[in-house]
Amino acid sequence: MSGDDVPSDFTDTTYYRPFADDSLAETPASIMEKSEVTWDYPSNAWPWESEATIKYKVNISAVQAAGRYQNIITYVAIPSF
C-alpha cells in the first residue's frame, strides 16, 4: 500500500499483509484510518480527503491444480463523527 493514511508498517513496496479469512473467523485489518473528520475553516481545506493504492500479491503453489479460481475481497468503510 502507498498513499494517505495507510498503516505505518507498509514502509516500502516489498511489504505485504495477508487478507483475513472470514471462513476461519480471522479478524479483519484496518487499511486506512484518519482522525480528522471536520472542515478546517481557517485554511479552507478538506482534511478528510485521502487516497491510497493497493497492489495485490498472488502466491500460487507449485501443486495447485490448473483451473479458474476467484475470490472476493470486501472493504468496509466505517464513518466517524
Which residues pair with residue 53 across a beta bridge? 2
* Structural contact between residues 28 and 20, judged by C-beta atoms closer than 8 angstroms: yes
Give me the chain's average pLDDT, please.
80
Give the global pTM. 0.59
Task: Choose from 30-34, 38-42, 66-70 the range with maximum mean pLDDT.
Answer: 66-70
- Residue 55 has a pLDDT of 86
User: Degrees (nearest 5) of the Cα angle 26, 32, 33?
Assistant: 105
Q: 21 — phi, psi (to 5°)?
A: -100, 110
Rounded to whole angstroms, the Cα distance separating 9 from 67 reads: 34
Q: With 70 as the cut, is the pLDDT of residue 10 above it?
A: yes
List beta partners, residue 2.
53
Give the integer Cα–Cα distance in Å for 31 and 19: 11
